[in-house]
């Protein structure tokens, strides 16, 4: 499960950098770039939620 979260974080980061770079090259509006930012933010929030679930699962299995 940890590998899956690592892949999610890496994938979101790559998507974010590539989307902003391509958007800058194509001259898209700031609204579209902000949409890419929000999509990346949602991906990172999802990844942190999965990290929290892993932490809870390991904590519950200890006791």
Q: What is the pLDDT of residue 63?
A: 64
pLDDT of amino acid 15: 97
State residue 59's pLDDT score: 92
pLDDT at 62: 82
CA distance 49 to 52: 5
Which parts of the chain sit beneath pLDDT 70? Answer: 63
Q: What angle do CA 58, 45, 36 make, to 5 degrees?
A: 150
Rounded to two decimals, the pTM is: 0.87
């Amino acid at each position: 499960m940890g590998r899956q979260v690592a892949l999610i974080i890496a994938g979101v980061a790559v998507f974010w950098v590539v989307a902003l770079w391509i958007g800058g090259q194509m001259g898209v509006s700031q609204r579209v770039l902000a949409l890419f930012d929000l999509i990346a933010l949602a991906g990172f929030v999802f990844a942190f939620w999965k990290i929290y679930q892993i932490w809870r699962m390991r904590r519950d299995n200890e006791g």
